[in-house]
Structure formats: structure tokens, C-alpha cells
């Protein structure tokens, strides 16, 4: 552990916003993951910039975290600095049909505010259990909508601490992809362009999608959401079910019987359990159908 790094982190964000050997299982929806060497929660863009520049100067790897809803963290944890943009970084404003929001705001919170403002177009995202930053980074989508449909512009930071703005077109959005990882950028926030709508209709649509999620997805167990990307021409969940893998377990990791596209944590699953199960599922599906499943979940850590 570098005392100089620690002292500088304390100076930049304050001792209350730095935790040492913080269990990542507390910060992921899978409830899995070993300790992060340094866990830092900056309050604003200036603090974030200073932390990123410090990490680069000290040659310490860093990882940007939102709500931790689409990642599997190694049992050994994350060496280096985890920077969480979440509750401290969640301001928003609504003017006309434009919504400006910081990366750390939860999509469900933002969805409620957008509904109350009488704007439509965000309903598909309002039930996704993540932050705006993560949704923009991976072009999150559900029920026929994607972030690329509503993102007008994105505020970004590069790894030198420089601020950048890109239009939605410049983000090169595609299925579960944007330029964020390719170009080593950090999402600071986004401007969304929506349409005027009827609050009752918007509420009904959100309730309909929430019910669909509740009835079709294993929301009662920790998971990282949909485990596999949709292979072209197929549905991952159906391929897994038709391979006879519903309920298949490795340790406490299980293919959900409710929705085979989800791997769930039935108790004390380790990252190794989940990784083994994912490999088994991919191999079995390929053997039976010659279809290659790609994980949608991001693997992070040692």
C-alpha cells in the first residue's frame, strides 16, 4: 500500500470518502467480490479529475463503478483504486424536453422524475437497476428501447482529466457498446432528448414493464442482470433452457429456472462458481446448437 497515494487521496476527497480493502460484495448487485485496495467516492468533477490524474501519475490502475449491476468482481478483489460515481454524483435538471443528468443517478430515480415532468421515451430504462453512466457506457436497452434512441449528447472525461463532449452520433452506439471503453473515457453525464407525453400513459407503461420484469425475471435473487448477450437470430435464455440447463448449479451459482438468461446467487456464490457455470453453459450450448454465447456481464479484478 502506497502511503503517498493514500495521503493524496485523503487530500483530494477527504478521509470519509476513502475506504481501504473495501469488500466489493457490498457494491455489486451479484453480492460477490473480494476487496478493493482503495475505494474512493468523489463528490464532483474536479475531485474525479484529480483522482484520475493521481492514479495515472502513480501508475496505479483504477476502475470506474456505478451501482455495480452488470459486473462480476473476482474473489481476490480489485488491486488499485475503485472510483464510484453514484449517490454523490447524481444531480439532474429538466428543461422542456431536455433532461441533463450526472452519471451516478439511478435510472429508476431518473425515470420517476422524467415521468413527473410529463416526458415519454425513457420508460424502457426506468426499471433497469443501474446508473445513467453505466447505461450510456454499454448502450443499455430493454423492451424495444435503447439509450442510443434518446441520448443527445454525453459529457466525458479522458484519463488525463480533460473534459470532452460528444453527440449521440459520435458515441458510436451499437448493441451493448459505445466508444467509452474503446477510447478510455469516463461518462460524467448525459443530455437526453425526450417527447412530451401524458403522465397517466407514462405511468401505465412503466407499471406494465415493471410487472413484466417481476413475472419473468428472478429479481428476488442477487444477479448481474442478463448474463449473456443476445446471439444474432436467437435468444440466449431459450438456447440455455433447450440445452436442459434450467436450475443447473455450480456451488451457489445457478441458472435461474424463472429465466435461463440469468445466473443468480442462491446464497454464497463465489466469482469462481459463476465463472465455472458460465463456461459450462457456453460449452453446452455450443455443443448442442453450435451457437457461441458471449457474456454481457463484465469481469473485473485480479
Known catalytic residue at 296: yes
Query: What's the first-to-final CA gap in the chain, in angstroms?
Result: 16
Short-list 257, 223, 219, CA closest to 240: 257
Average pLDDT value for residue range 170-179: 95
Q: What is the DSSP letter of 295?
A: B
Q: Residue 95 corresponds to which cell in the numbers above?
A: 428543461
Per-residue pLDDT at 173 exceeds 70: yes
Q: How many residues does the chain have?
A: 302
Phi-psi region of 290 (alpha: psi -120 to 50; beta: other; left: phi over 0): left
What is the pLDDT at residue 302?
Answer: 83
Cell representation of residue 211: 410487472
8-state DSSP, 221: S
Instruction: Please state, rounded to an integer, the average pLDDT across all residues of the chain.
Output: 96
Q: What's the whole-number mean pLDDT along residues 135-156? A: 95
> Which residue among 123, 146, 254, 296 is the active-site one?
296
> Which one of 152, 176, 230, 249 is the catalytic residue?
176
With 90 as the cut, is the pLDDT of residue 87 above it? no
Cα dihedral sign, 12-159-226-217 = positive
| Active-site pick, 178, 226, 243, 270 | 226
Task: Provide the grid cell at 21.
Answer: 480493502
CB of 295 within 8 A of CB of 223?
no
59 catalytic, yes or no? no
What is the model's pLDDT at position 113?
Answer: 97
Q: 46 pLDDT exceeds 70? A: yes
Examine the residue annotation and report whether 58 is marked as an active-site residue of this protein.
Answer: no
Query: Tens digit of pLDDT for each residue in 255-299?
Result: 999 999 999 999 999 999 999 999 999 999 999 999 999 999 999
Rounded to 5 degrees, what are φ and ψ at 74?
Answer: -55, 150
Q: Are the C-beta atoms of 225 and 129 separated by less than 8 Å?
A: yes
Beta strands in the chain (DSSP E): 18-23, 35-40, 62-65, 71-73, 78-84, 92-95, 98-102, 119-120, 141-142, 145-146, 151-158, 163-167, 185-193, 195-196, 223-226, 249-250, 253-255, 262-265, 298-300
What domains can you pick out in the chain, each with its CATH number?
Answer: 3-84 (3.30.43.10), 92-201 (3.30.465.10), 218-300 (3.90.78.10)
Span 195-215, pLDDT tens digits: 999 999 999 999 999 999 999
pLDDT surpassing 80 at residue 100: yes
pLDDT of 1 above 70: no
Amino acid at each position: 500500500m502506497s502511503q503517498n497515494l493514500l495521503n493524496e487521496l485523503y487530500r483530494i476527497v477527504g478521509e470519509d470518502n476513502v475506504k481501504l480493502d473495501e469488500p466489493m460484495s457490498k457494491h455489486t448487485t451479484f453480492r460477490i467480490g473480494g476487496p478493493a485496495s482503495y475505494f474512493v467516492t468523489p463528490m464532483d468533477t474536479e475531485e474525479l479529475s484529480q483522482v484520475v490524474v493521481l492514479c495515472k501519475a502513480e501508475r496505479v490502475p483504477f476502475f470506474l463503478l456505478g451501482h455495480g449491476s452488470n459486473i462480476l468482481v473476482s474473489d481476490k478483489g480489485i488491486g488499485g483504486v475503485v472510483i464510484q460515481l453514484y449517490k454523490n454524483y447524481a444531480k439532474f435538471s429538466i428543461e422542456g424536453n431536455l433532461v441533463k443528468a450526472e452519471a451516478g443517478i439511478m435510472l429508476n430515480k431518473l425515470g420517476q422524475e422524467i415521468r413527473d415532468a410529463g416526458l415519454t421515451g425513457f420508460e424502457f430504462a426506468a426499471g433497469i437497476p443501474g446508473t445513467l453512466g453505466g447505461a450510456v457506457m454499454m448502450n443499455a436497452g430493454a423492451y424495444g428501447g435503447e439509450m442510443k434512441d434518446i441520448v443527445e449528447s454525453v459529457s466525458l472525461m479522458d484519463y488525463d482529466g480533460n473534459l470532452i463532449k460528444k453527440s449521440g452520433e459520435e458515441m458510436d452506439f451499437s448493441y451493448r457498446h459505445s466508444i467509452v471503453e474503446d477510447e478510455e473515457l469516463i461518462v460524467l453525464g448525459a443530455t437526453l432528448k425526450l417527447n412530451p407525453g401524458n403522465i397517466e400513459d407514462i405511468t401505465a407503461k412503466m407499471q406494465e414493464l415493471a410487472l413484466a420484469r417481476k413475472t419473468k425475471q428472478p429479481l428476488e435473487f442477487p444477479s448481474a442482470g442478463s448474463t449473456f448477450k443476445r446471439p444474432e437470430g436467437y435468444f440466449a435464455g431459450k438456447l440455455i433452457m433447450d440445452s436442459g440447463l434450467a436450475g443447473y448449479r455450480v456451488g451457489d451459482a445457478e441458472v435461474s429456472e424463472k429465466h435461463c438468461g440469468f445466473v443468480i446467487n442462491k446464497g454464497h456464490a463465489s466469482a469462481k462458481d459463476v465463472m465455472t457455470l458460465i463456461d459450462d453453459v457456453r460449452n453446452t450450448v455450443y455443443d448442442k446448437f453450435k451457437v457461441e454465447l458471449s457474456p454481457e456481464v463484465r469481469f473485473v479484478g485480479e
